[in-house]
Amino acid sequence: MRKIYNPDRSEWKAILRRPTQTVADIEQTVEAIFKEVRDHGDASLRKYTEKFDGIVLEDLVVSEAEIREAADRVAPELKKAVQLAKNNIEVFHKAQKTERVSVETANGVHCWQEKRAIQKVGLYIPGGTAPLFSTILMLAVPATIAGCEELVLCSPPDKEGKINPAILYTAHLCGVGKIFKVGGIQAIASMTFGTESVPQVYKVFGPGNQYVTVAKQIATKYGIAIDMPAGPSELLVLADDSANPAFVASDLLSQAEHGVDSQVILVSTSKDMVDAVEKEVEKQLPRLPRKDIAEKAIANSKLIYVEDDRTANDLINAYGPEHYIVCVKNEDFFVDNIKNAGSVFIGNYTPESAGDYASGTNHTLPTNGYAKQYSGVNLDSFMKSMTFQKISETGIQEIGQAIEIMAEAEGLQAHKNAVTLRLNSLRNQRM
């Protein structure tokens, strides 16, 4: 990991740059696959599944027999762990429900807001080197609580044409009714346009590599909403001398093992902590089964020393981390002053892994600095707010003249007339 001491603010942008390609670098590839999926449906999905996943599939749909077989292959202790995590995620997301907001803005003018579920949602679940069955919990659980009517799940098959058993078991446990063996760009395209097998959805959720991230962004050009731009994983740890260097190193490595384009950063006001964490990373890294992946991610990562808390907080807000661990004596200052982060983990005994799996918070979070503009997935992500209003005879007389004046000032005579006719009708009734 590269050590950086007291970087000048003018250098922050370059130092904090993510190791990702820009949309322009891969947009042409994504657009080409989107066009083919739109024009040729399932045939194009089979073509790209063979090209990218190395398997020829006749049927893209996961059968009930495959789901039953998968359930038998999942160890009892894993089933128990998944159920515990599901329970905690349900508790946290059910608590996010809100009541109808209702108010009389003026005499006889009643306005209210209600939330309604998005009817059709698509869930993308990465497979590959790390089959993220935990992401199903993070997406399907709140979608079900919200009341979404149709859940469509796409995940890439392995070389044998199968989806990881834990993914199928978890999807079935969460009530996902439609599961397809489709991955990558073509999966996002299939849910965007719909094919003979895969239904079109209204909003797509789920993390993925840079190609999936760009594919989701391209999907918005075709009228499909997305949860957020969620690409390669990242973690920033803030630690001073009160932190445990071994814990900090383990957290950094936990994100580094996600993928070669992941990024982890340590920010510290202690040079001793910077040195201690560096040694711990070197000590722990060789023991990891995914050492080769983590090593490449570590090459993109940094250990940054700054002199004071205020500078550290400004640097962290400038970065806007997906995951942010705070292990310092002055934790209240940093918790109170963080403005840009996907999810915050506080204290020596709050590893980022807890949020990834079982604490109850959602792990689908904005990356690549998008934490400055986007929230992580939550119950409201699967809902939309609708406003209602009902105006009585008294109410239209209360606000009618103001509407007429404003409409005329904007040159919209028909808008004015819609009110004037009603007001005149009421005047005639009184005569």
**209 annotated binding-site participant:** yes
For residue 109, what are the β-bridge partners? 106, 391
DSSP state letters, 305-330: E-SSHHHHHHHHHHH--SEEEEESTT
* Side chain identity, residue 344: V
Return d(Cα 36, Cα 55) in angstroms, integer. Answer: 19
The annotation status of 353 as a binding-site residue, yes or no, is no
Query: Structure tokens of 401?
Result: 């003249």
Q: How far apart are CA 266 and CA 248, in angstroms?
A: 8
Annotated ligand binding at 323? The verdict is: yes
Beta strands in 276-394 (DSSP E): 302-305, 323-327, 343-346, 383-391
Which backbone phi and psi does 59 adopt, to 5 degrees? Answer: -110, 120
**Encoded tokens for 71:** 């359930």
322 is catalytic: yes
Exactly one of 93, 172, 280, 323 is catalytic; which is it?
323
Who's near 370: CB < 8 A, 6+ residues apart?
A: 228, 229, 320
370 annotated binding-site participant:
no
CA triplet 408, 411, 412: central angle to 5 degrees? 80
Phi, psi (rounded to 5 degrees) for 275: -65, -40
C-alpha span between 124 and 105 (Å, rounded): 42
Is 40 known as a binding-site position? Answer: no
| Backbone torsions φ then ψ of 122, nearest 5 degrees | -110, 135
Helix ranges restricted to H, 236-270: 245-256
Cα dihedral across residues 168, 172, 175, 179: positive or negative? positive
Strand ranges in 261-305 using DSSP code E only, listed in sequence order: 263-268, 302-305
Q: Is 398 annotated as a binding residue?
A: no
Point out the catalytic residue in the list 257, 280, 322, 352: 322
Give CB contacts under 8 A, 24+ apart, made by 378-382. Answer: 378/93, 378/96, 378/142, 379/93, 379/94, 379/96, 379/97, 379/142, 379/145, 379/146, 380/96, 380/115, 381/142, 381/205, 381/227, 382/117, 382/118, 382/121, 382/142, 382/143, 382/145, 382/146, 382/148, 382/203
- 332 annotated ligand binder: no
Distance of CA 157 to the CA centre of its chain: 22
337 marked among binding-site residues: no
Q: Is 186 a known ligand-binding residue?
A: yes
151 vs 46: CA distance, rounded Å: 22
Distance of CA 32 to the CA centre of its chain: 25
172 a catalytic residue: no
Q: Tell whether residue 233 is among the known ligand binding residues.
A: yes
Catalytic positions, written as ranges: 322-323
Provide the annotated binding site for substrate.
Answer: 233, 255, 258, 323, 356, 410, 415
> Annotated binding site for NAD(+), which residues?
124, 186, 209
Q: Residue ranges for the binding site?
A: 124, 186, 209, 233, 255, 258, 323, 356, 410, 415
Please give the annotated binding residues for Zn(2+), written as ranges: 255, 258, 356, 415
